[in-house]
Structure 1
Protein backbone atom coordinates (compact mmCIF):
# COMPACT_ATOMS: atom_id res chain seq x y z
CA UNK A 1 0.00 0.00 0.00
CA UNK A 2 1.42 3.37 -0.94
CA UNK A 3 1.25 6.46 1.23
CA UNK A 4 -1.42 7.90 -1.07
CA UNK A 5 -3.68 4.91 -0.44
CA UNK A 6 -3.58 5.25 3.32
CA UNK A 7 -6.72 6.57 5.00
CA UNK A 8 -4.44 8.88 7.00
CA UNK A 9 -2.47 10.33 4.08
CA UNK A 10 -4.31 13.66 4.38
CA UNK A 11 -3.47 14.93 7.87
CA UNK A 12 -6.09 17.69 7.61
CA UNK A 13 -8.84 15.06 7.60
CA UNK A 14 -7.28 12.76 10.19
CA UNK A 15 -9.46 12.16 13.24
CA UNK A 16 -10.25 9.42 15.72
CA UNK A 17 -13.41 8.64 13.75
CA UNK A 18 -11.29 7.02 11.03
CA UNK A 19 -9.81 4.46 13.42
CA UNK A 20 -11.28 0.96 13.34
CA UNK A 21 -13.64 -0.12 16.12
CA UNK A 22 -11.15 -2.82 17.18
CA UNK A 23 -8.49 -0.24 18.03
CA UNK A 24 -7.75 0.39 21.67
CA UNK A 25 -7.39 3.93 22.88
CA UNK A 26 -6.22 4.60 26.39
CA UNK A 27 -7.27 8.04 27.62
CA UNK A 28 -4.41 9.91 29.25
CA UNK A 29 -6.72 12.06 31.36
CA UNK A 30 -9.86 11.07 33.19
CA UNK A 31 -12.95 13.17 32.44
CA UNK A 32 -12.58 14.71 35.91
CA UNK A 33 -8.94 15.64 35.20
CA UNK A 34 -9.90 17.15 31.86
CA UNK A 35 -12.72 19.17 33.45
CA UNK A 36 -10.38 20.46 36.16
CA UNK A 37 -7.72 21.33 33.57
CA UNK A 38 -10.25 23.23 31.42
CA UNK A 39 -11.47 25.24 34.43
CA UNK A 40 -7.97 26.42 35.45
CA UNK A 41 -6.78 29.82 34.34
CA UNK A 42 -3.42 30.01 32.63
CA UNK A 43 -0.77 32.44 33.84
CA UNK A 44 0.11 35.45 31.70
CA UNK A 45 3.55 33.94 30.95
CA UNK A 46 4.35 30.26 30.48
CA UNK A 47 7.92 28.96 30.86
CA UNK A 48 9.18 27.11 27.79
CA UNK A 49 12.17 24.79 27.97
CA UNK A 50 13.57 24.12 24.48
CA UNK A 51 14.89 20.56 24.14
CA UNK A 52 17.16 19.21 21.43
CA UNK A 53 16.09 16.04 19.61
CA UNK A 54 13.01 15.65 21.80
CA UNK A 55 9.32 16.05 21.08
CA UNK A 56 6.89 16.09 23.99
CA UNK A 57 3.20 15.58 23.40
CA UNK A 58 0.40 16.81 25.69
CA UNK A 59 -0.58 14.27 28.32
CA UNK A 60 2.55 12.16 27.85
CA UNK A 61 5.02 11.81 30.69
CA UNK A 62 8.66 11.04 29.87
CA UNK A 63 11.86 11.81 31.76
CA UNK A 64 14.05 14.60 30.42
CA UNK A 65 17.61 15.56 31.25
CA UNK A 66 18.49 19.18 31.93
CA UNK A 67 22.18 19.89 32.33
CA UNK A 68 22.65 23.54 31.41
CA UNK A 69 22.55 26.01 34.29
CA UNK A 70 19.88 28.19 32.68
CA UNK A 71 17.70 25.12 31.96
CA UNK A 72 17.98 23.98 35.57
CA UNK A 73 17.16 27.52 36.76
CA UNK A 74 14.08 27.64 34.51
CA UNK A 75 12.83 24.33 35.93
CA UNK A 76 13.48 25.45 39.52
CA UNK A 77 11.75 28.80 38.93
CA UNK A 78 8.75 27.06 37.35
CA UNK A 79 8.50 24.66 40.30
CA UNK A 80 8.67 27.58 42.73
CA UNK A 81 5.92 29.39 40.84
CA UNK A 82 8.04 32.40 39.90
Structure 2
Protein backbone atom coordinates (compact mmCIF):
# COMPACT_ATOMS: atom_id res chain seq x y z
CA UNK A 1 0.00 0.00 0.00
CA UNK A 2 2.88 2.33 0.77
CA UNK A 3 4.28 2.00 -2.76
CA UNK A 4 0.84 2.42 -4.30
CA UNK A 5 0.41 5.76 -2.53
CA UNK A 6 3.85 6.88 -3.65
CA UNK A 7 3.02 5.90 -7.23
CA UNK A 8 -0.19 7.91 -7.08
CA UNK A 9 1.61 10.89 -5.58
CA UNK A 10 4.55 11.03 -7.98
CA UNK A 11 3.05 9.32 -11.04
CA UNK A 12 1.81 12.55 -12.61
CA UNK A 13 5.13 14.29 -12.17
CA UNK A 14 6.94 11.36 -13.79
CA UNK A 15 4.50 11.42 -16.71
CA UNK A 16 5.03 15.17 -17.23
CA UNK A 17 8.81 14.69 -17.15
CA UNK A 18 8.55 11.89 -19.70
CA UNK A 19 6.49 14.10 -22.03
CA UNK A 20 9.07 16.89 -21.61
CA UNK A 21 11.92 14.58 -22.58
CA UNK A 22 9.92 13.26 -25.53
CA UNK A 23 9.31 16.79 -26.81
CA UNK A 24 13.03 17.52 -26.71
CA UNK A 25 13.72 14.41 -28.76
CA UNK A 26 10.94 15.35 -31.19
CA UNK A 27 12.36 18.85 -31.58
CA UNK A 28 15.76 17.41 -32.50
CA UNK A 29 14.15 15.55 -35.41
CA UNK A 30 12.60 18.67 -36.98
CA UNK A 31 13.79 19.87 -40.39
CA UNK A 32 16.05 22.90 -40.46
CA UNK A 33 13.33 25.07 -42.06
CA UNK A 34 11.04 24.54 -39.08
CA UNK A 35 13.88 25.16 -36.65
CA UNK A 36 14.71 28.42 -38.43
CA UNK A 37 11.07 29.52 -38.27
CA UNK A 38 10.88 28.74 -34.56
CA UNK A 39 14.04 30.77 -34.01
CA UNK A 40 12.58 33.68 -36.00
CA UNK A 41 9.31 33.59 -34.08
CA UNK A 42 11.08 33.46 -30.73
CA UNK A 43 13.20 36.45 -31.81
CA UNK A 44 10.06 38.38 -32.75
CA UNK A 45 8.43 37.51 -29.44
CA UNK A 46 11.53 38.73 -27.61
CA UNK A 47 11.45 42.00 -29.57
CA UNK A 48 7.80 42.60 -28.67
CA UNK A 49 8.54 41.72 -25.04
CA UNK A 50 11.43 44.20 -25.00
CA UNK A 51 9.14 46.91 -26.41
CA UNK A 52 6.26 46.27 -24.00
CA UNK A 53 8.16 45.96 -20.70
CA UNK A 54 9.08 49.68 -20.40
CA UNK A 55 5.45 50.68 -21.01
CA UNK A 56 4.17 48.21 -18.40
CA UNK A 57 6.81 49.34 -15.91
CA UNK A 58 5.88 52.99 -16.46
CA UNK A 59 2.17 52.26 -15.98
CA UNK A 60 2.86 50.27 -12.81
CA UNK A 61 5.07 53.04 -11.46
CA UNK A 62 2.38 55.64 -12.13
CA UNK A 63 -0.26 53.52 -10.38
CA UNK A 64 2.00 53.16 -7.34
CA UNK A 65 2.73 56.91 -7.26
CA UNK A 66 -0.99 57.75 -7.53
CA UNK A 67 -1.85 55.33 -4.71
CA UNK A 68 0.86 56.79 -2.49
CA UNK A 69 -0.29 60.31 -3.28
CA UNK A 70 -3.87 59.40 -2.37
CA UNK A 71 -2.78 57.71 0.86
CA UNK A 72 -0.53 60.47 2.13
CA UNK A 73 -2.41 63.37 0.52
CA UNK A 74 -5.41 62.78 2.77
CA UNK A 75 -3.26 63.15 5.90
CA UNK A 76 -2.28 66.74 5.14
Could you say which TM-score interval applies, normalised by the shorter chain?
A: under 0.3
More helix by share: 2
- Structure whose alpha-carbon radius of gyration is higher: 2
TM-score, length-scaled by structure 1: 0.24
* Bigger RCO (CA 8 Å, 6+ sep): 1
TM-score, length-scaled by structure 2: 0.25
